[in-house]
Structure 1
Amino acid sequence: MSQSPPQQTPSPSGLRLQPTDPHAGEPGASATQDPELYWLKNVYQGGSRQLTVRAVIAGMLIGAVMCLSNLYVILKTGWSLGVTITACILAFAVFGTLRSLRLLKNDFTALENNAMGSVASAAGYMTGGGNMAAVPALLMLTGALPPSGWLVVWFAVISALGVFAAIPIKRQLINIEALPFPTGTATAETIRALHGHGEVARRKSKLLAGAGLIGALLVMLRDARFTWLTNIPDKVSMPFTILGKKASAWTLSFDFSLLLVGAGALVSFRTGWSMLLGAVLTYGFLAPAMVTQGAIPEVTYRAINTWMVWTGSAVLVSSGLLAFAFQWRSVARSFKALSGLFGRKSSKEEEADPLAGIECPPSWFPLGFAVLGPIAIFLMAYLFQIPWWAGVLAMPLAVVMGVIASRVTGETDTTPTKALGPVTQLIFGGLAPGNIPANVMSANATGGVGLHAADLLTDLKSGWLLGANPRQQFVAQLFGVVAGAAVVVPVFNILIPSPDVLGSAEFPAPATMVWAGVSKLLATGVSAMPVTARWGALCGGTLGIVLVLLERWAPAKLKGYVPSPAGFGLAIVIPGSSSIAFFLGSAIAEVMRRKAPKLAEETVLPVSSGFIAGESLLGIGIAMAKAFGVMPK
């Protein structure tokens, strides 16, 4: 599932800005000028250092680290958080420090930072596009996964296909139509600020590092089981009881987790209070009612979640599909663009093309799919027993999804993976009924292609504004794909050693629960669901539709009081304590934005990112130490 927060987003994510001027970053451009020719003469920085060896290495390392952070976060909360802006701040700080120590001769340029960000974003987003929803869902539903080496190849191939899928639509969406791609625009502005005002960058990097250390220290005090260390409790219960049991038994407690507070600060306040409302109604009223009726057998998170997942999934899927349907104009434009994907320019047109030697050649798109497509089809058949014809069908469908995801992301800054995933599941549920691997992993293929196509175009928007070479950014993304795939699989296996870890209070994995629920429903039918769960799903689906309609049609003065469908639905499938922490983070950030907007602009993103990175990375380190027997469990 994906949600674009106002400061930094899940699946691609970043700052949600107002649509920019079509020629943002191109001073003096007029509407009558050829935008490509103007860019070539006035913006393009062809002679500058861009995709250097150090930019690739830094991007792969930072991207791999942030991929692990995102893995931990998505298993905890279901959100994929933004990567590129944080990576650019980190890289600037690291290279600036090395330069001040005279370990480097040359400055780290803005375009090097942009290329590094392309590498890092491709690696960091390896958890998105359904990857860390589909694979855990397959583990839950079948009890087994293919060997790690094969999964690394699967992730790399699917993600690389997404990179190739972006090639034929880049010039139309970015150069000609000048879609805003708000995260890409924000990244370009961040890079300009970093390399134009060193003091601002140094303050942000110090804040990020300090917050990271605080987050890591909290995890050490909470989770490290050393004999010499007195641990603080994981959580503190709210001061009331429900049906004679402490509020914490119903997951209504305060978690000692700065990660969740930091993540909350990066979403909108509307999302935060919607999650609090959803948690109160779910765990304070609905769950106790179902326990009283015997529909939920015991007061544990797993038992409650087993029933609630149908209601929460219905809210998320119905709201996602309807919101996506309201973007039909973007979808229609996407299909119109598909007609030109395979068109070939005449030799005269190619000779007259001023960007022919700079943009990725159109031939790279069919060539990439000709090479990687058969590999993906083979992997589907060999690893997941998906019929070869279903694998063949998935390839053109993935291209369609990639084009749609890219345009919607360009116009709205939200990649609609939570809508496109269920759509593909429904398609393959009808084509191969009862085949759970085909249902889950075919959707993973299309979602992965869509996400990485949109991610590359978001990065290419940054490059367009900064005057970067798009071919070098394309290559940068392929380096990042390799780095992300190589690290995400082995660490996932350490964090999730068995299927029963998923859906637990430690790793609620709400995105996984939604994917697994949809696949199970398509495989077994509605009749396999308990009657009360059917009513819960019906009510949840209806609520999701109503919230989207209210969000769209309510008077402007009332729209701010309509709960966010994504936030409300997510609160139903994660522990109430997580929603409470999200709310606290969003409330603190909102107060800062209203009372001290300049301070909030400078501190919210780096401090929140530091909390998330520090806690998640040390949390992974402690989990690995326990798994290998270095630390007591």
Structure 2
Amino acid sequence: MTSPVSPSPQQLRIHPEPVPPTEPPSEKEDPERYWLEHVYQGGARQLTVRAIIAGMLIGAVMCLSNLYVILKTGWSLGVTLTACILAFATFGMLRGVGLIRKDFTTLENNAMGSVASAAGYMTGGGNMAAVPALLMLTGTLPPSGWLVAWFAAVSALGVFAAIPIKRQLINIEQLPFPTGTATAETLQALHGHDERSRGKARYLGIAGLVGATVAVWRDAKGAWLAWNLPAKLSLPFMIGGKPAGAWTLSLDLSLLLIGAGALVSFKTGWSMLLGALLTYGVLAPEMVSRGVIPEVTYKAINAWTLWTGASLLVASGLLSFAFQWRSVAKSFQALAGLFGKKTEENKDPLADVECPPSWFPLGFLVLGPVVVGLMAYLFQIPVWAGVIALPLSVVMGVIASRVTGETDTTPTKALGPVTQLLYGGLLPGNLPANIMSANATGGVGLHSADLLTDLKSGWLLGANPRQQFFAQLFGVVAGAAVVVPAFNLLVPSADVLGTEEFPAPSSLVWAGVSKMLMSGVESLPVSARIGALCGLSLGVALVLLERWAPKAAKPFIPSASGLGLSIVIPGASSISFFIGAAIAEVLRRKKPKLAEAAVLPVSSGFIAGESLMGIAIAMLKAFGVMPK
């Protein structure tokens, strides 16, 4: 899954405090039996009531934060590490004031992280790309209760889809799952006596307060606030006779965007700056002067540049995914193995610990008809087309899980358009089918990969995988219940989307692909077709250069995802991303110890503090408590 952890840590075998370090198993030794005898902590507290409650609450908060961020930037950011640090700090404070007696253990925090991760990532898997796209194209959405049921059913299906491949990917092959490994390392340090790691909780809290303060100072209205911090400051030059800010080239006074920038690579950051300057400083003014873009507003510019950015993102995503064909081939081998007859001379040593294989078909037998029924009732997708989505979602889940295990990136941006193309051929002209079928397969893929990432942490720490499975289901319920009403509050109508406040770039891409599949490429203006062709060519070229260019030249090749994103979000957002990425890069080079201790928690604090306060202010304005 997309993760802010950088650089990815080495895969390490981690043991809880009570277990002394042991030698790793030899090549001939059964890794599962070794794990059961030397690592597994069956008697330790894990999925306790307080871990479930804390995970659901923290996960709901992280879900709100991610919703705000994805509408701003198109990206869902890491949840598990931030949630574990928050839980550690919260329970430490409660223990300090005497409200709880027992320590919050490493494995309790790990189980809590599974709950929080499932809830926090409810914005991913195409959920908050598909639903806004559907709203933009049709103007309506199903009632909130039905949407909650939809998200919960699809996400739970992804949890069950992870069962048959868990042991192969984690126990046997021991794929890295870098975010899962980093989470295990962080938990071990937090619950040990590593003061530097404990300091991350303090960094997170202070940064959260600063982010919330900035949001209040900038967005709140009332007699008690003498003046507001301006939202943006235009860059000090003119373009085409207008201030740079009119072309969205401004300094956005948002710590959220700077924090998000610090969590991406410096290459992505400078690629976004380059893309913003070329798009809004060169290309857009030229198109306005020719009359192709009718006016100098973000919405008018974006309506034209969208096709270039979408083509670049889709082409680069699909080609990058194609180069991972070995992982895909292994995924299909694993998929075939699900239905093969297995013979075992000895009793399965993990039969009482792992989720029984029978849970996979039972889960699909129960949830499959629910998902197909919801597809038919809510989105007018024929039952036969909904049934096709079930085996397709299993395939997507297996592929997404393996790619995530090897690269730490869940390929939703590649798998979503694949499903859209498939259903564009099966049901031409059916916009809801095109969008929401991709939402179904993407949601299954994301939550399958998310559970396996959490199970990787559990494998390293000796946690009970069945308890983590149930933890994930609790998180799914919490996330679905929170994300729908919060979305309705932030996005009361389609007019809010595609604006400077909420650019929603991933939704614009999904909507653009569906619209093109429905009406055909010939329906686009000639200039937009040329832009789409240029974006496609550039996406392919950048991926090929990244793969085959000399090693010395690779740092100077722009990131395809960063460049593509900068074309569909306001220039001010890309500038802020660059500032955050540059600050983090300077720290990593000049003060590596400080960077390791502070970049992740401070950035996460900025994001969480500003986004959550932004949602709180929006609620106060919506209910008339605060003037708009």
Compute the TM-score of the two structures, normalised by the length of structure 2. Answer: 0.98
Task: Tell me how far apart the structure 2 counterparts of residues 183 and 343 of structure 1 sit (CA, whole Å).
Answer: 31
Q: Where does residue 210 of structure 1 map in the other structure?
A: 206
Shift of 1:225: 1.1
Q: Where does residue 493 of structure 1 map in the other structure?
A: 488
Secondary structure in 1 matching 2:432: helix
Q: Where does residue 89 of structure 1 map in the other structure?
A: 85
Matched, 1:271 2:268: yes
Shift of 1:16: 4.6
**Structure 2 counterpart of 1:529, which letter?**
L
Q: Where does residue 191 of structure 1 map in the other structure?
A: 187
Matched, 1:44 2:17: no
Shift of 1:32: 2.0
Q: Where does residue 432 of structure 1 map in the other structure?
A: 427
Task: Tell me how far apart the structure 1 counterparts of residues 507 and 258 of structure 2 sit (CA, whole Å).
Answer: 22
Q: What are the equivalent positions in structure 2 for 1:507-546 lying under 5 Å apart?
A: 507-546=502-541
Q: What are the equivalent positions in structure 2 for 1:22-37 lying under 5 Å apart?
A: 27-29=22-24, 30-37=26-33
Matched, 1:394 2:385: no
Q: Where does residue 59 of structure 1 map in the other structure?
A: 55
- Relative to structure 1, the CA distance from residue 301 to residue 185 in structure 2 (aligned partners, 3 Å threshold; closer, same or farther) is same
Question: What does the per-residue CA deviation read over 1:139-160, in whole Å, with 9 as the maximum and x for residues that have no partner?
Answer: 0000000000000000000000
Shift of 1:200: 3.0
- Extract unaligned runs of 5+ from structure 2: 16-20
Task: Tell me how far apart the structure 1 counterparts of residues 418 and 252 of structure 2 sit (CA, whole Å).
Answer: 35
Matched, 1:250 2:247: yes
One of 141, 147, 152 as aligned partner of 1:151: 147
Question: What does the per-residue CA deviation read over 1:376-418, in whole Å, with 9 as the maximum and x for residues that have no partner?
Answer: 0000000000011110000000000000000000011110000
Q: Is the 8 A contact 1:51 1:112 kept in 2?
A: yes
- Relative to structure 1, the CA distance from residue 123 to residue 251 in structure 2 (aligned partners, 3 Å threshold; closer, same or farther) is same
Q: Where does residue 612 of structure 1 map in the other structure?
A: 607
Question: What does the per-residue CA deviation read over 1:26-80, in whole Å, with 9 as the maximum and x for residues that have no partner?
Answer: 7412222110010000000000000000000000000000000000000000010
Question: What does the per-residue CA deviation read over 1:225-271, in whole Å, with 9 as the maximum and x for residues that have no partner?
Answer: 11231111110000001110000000000011000000000000000
Question: What does the per-residue CA deviation read over 1:170-218, in whole Å, with 9 as the maximum and x for residues that have no partner?
Answer: 0000000010101100000000000112533442111111111111111
Shift of 1:343: 3.6
Question: What does the per-residue CA deviation read over 1:78-100, in whole Å, with 9 as the maximum and x for residues that have no partner?
Answer: 01000000000000010011111
One of 286, 289, 313 as aligned partner of 1:289: 286
Q: Is the 8 A contact 2:9 2:182 kept in 1?
A: no
Q: Is the 8 A contact 2:249 2:572 kept in 1?
A: yes
Question: What does the per-residue CA deviation read over 1:466-512, in whole Å, with 9 as the maximum and x for residues that have no partner?
Answer: 00000000000000000000000001001000001100010000000
RMSD: 1.2
Q: Where does residue 170 of structure 1 map in the other structure?
A: 166
Task: Tell me how far apart the structure 2 counterparts of residues 198 and 90 of structure 1 sit (CA, whole Å).
Answer: 16
**Structure 2 counterpart of 1:472, which letter?**
Q
Task: Tell me how far apart the structure 1 counterparts of residues 590 and 571 of structure 2 sit (CA, whole Å).
Answer: 29
**Structure 1 counterpart of 2:561, which letter?**
A
Task: Tell me how far apart the structure 2 counterparts of residues 591 and 289 of structure 1 sit (CA, whole Å).
Answer: 35
Task: Tell me how far apart the structure 2 counterparts of residues 226 and 515 of structure 1 sit (CA, whole Å).
Answer: 38
Task: Tell me how far apart the structure 1 counterparts of residues 342 and 501 of structure 2 sit (CA, whole Å).
Answer: 55
Task: Tell me how far apart the structure 1 counterparts of residues 146 and 480 of structure 2 sit (CA, whole Å).
Answer: 11
Q: What are the equivalent positions in structure 2 for 1:74-85 lying under 5 Å apart?
A: 74-85=70-81
Task: Tell me how far apart the structure 2 counterparts of residues 477 and 343 of structure 1 sit (CA, whole Å).
Answer: 28
One of 211, 214, 226 as aligned partner of 2:222: 226
Q: Is the 8 A contact 1:15 1:186 kept in 2?
A: no
Matched, 1:117 2:108: no
Q: Where does residue 575 of structure 1 map in the other structure?
A: 570
Q: Where does residue 365 of structure 1 map in the other structure?
A: 360
Q: Where does residue 20 of structure 1 map in the other structure?
A: 11
Q: Is the 8 A contact 1:89 1:201 kept in 2?
A: no
Shift of 1:101: 1.2
Q: Where does residue 18 of structure 2 map in the other structure?
A: none
Question: What does the per-residue CA deviation read over 1:107-135, in whole Å, with 9 as the maximum and x for residues that have no partner?
Answer: 00000000000000000000000000000
Q: Is the 8 A contact 1:185 1:462 kept in 2?
A: yes
Question: What does the per-residue CA deviation read over 1:299-319, in whole Å, with 9 as the maximum and x for residues that have no partner?
Answer: 000000000110000010000
Q: Is the 8 A contact 1:401 1:447 kept in 2?
A: yes
Q: Where does residue 337 of structure 1 map in the other structure?
A: 334
Q: Where does residue 319 of structure 1 map in the other structure?
A: 316
Task: Tell me how far apart the structure 2 counterparts of residues 343 and 488 of structure 1 sit (CA, whole Å).
Answer: 39
Q: Is the 8 A contact 2:497 2:503 kept in 1?
A: yes
Q: Is the 8 A contact 1:92 1:201 kept in 2?
A: no
Task: Tell me how far apart the structure 2 counterparts of residues 65 and 24 of structure 1 sit (CA, whole Å).
Answer: 29
Q: Is the 8 A contact 2:197 2:597 kept in 1?
A: no
Q: Is the 8 A contact 2:186 2:197 kept in 1?
A: no
Task: Tell me how far apart the structure 1 counterparts of residues 254 and 510 of structure 2 sit (CA, whole Å).
Answer: 26
Task: Tell me how far apart the structure 2 counterparts of residues 295 and 27 of structure 1 sit (CA, whole Å).
Answer: 68
Matched, 1:471 2:462: no
Shift of 1:24: 6.7
Q: Is the 8 A contact 1:46 1:469 kept in 2?
A: yes
Number of residue pairs aligned between Structure 1 and Structure 2? 621
Question: What does the per-residue CA deviation read over 1:306-348, in whole Å, with 9 as the maximum and x for residues that have no partner?
Answer: 00110000010000000000000000000011112234545x6
Q: Where does residue 237 of structure 1 map in the other structure?
A: 234
Q: Is the 8 A contact 2:14 2:184 kept in 1?
A: no
Secondary structure in 2 matching 1:629: coil
**Structure 1 counterpart of 2:376, which letter?**
A
Secondary structure in 2 matching 1:556: coil
Matched, 1:261 2:258: yes
One of 402, 406, 427 as aligned partner of 2:401: 406
Secondary structure in 1 matching 2:251: strand
**Structure 2 counterpart of 1:150, which letter?**
W
Secondary structure in 2 matching 1:254: strand
Question: What does the per-residue CA deviation read over 1:429-452, in whole Å, with 9 as the maximum and x for residues that have no partner?
Answer: 000000000000000000000000
One of 174, 196, 199 as aligned partner of 1:200: 196
Q: Is the 8 A contact 2:313 2:564 kept in 1?
A: yes
Q: Is the 8 A contact 1:15 1:183 kept in 2?
A: no
Q: Is the 8 A contact 2:65 2:612 kept in 1?
A: yes
- Extract unaligned runs of 5+ from structure 1: none
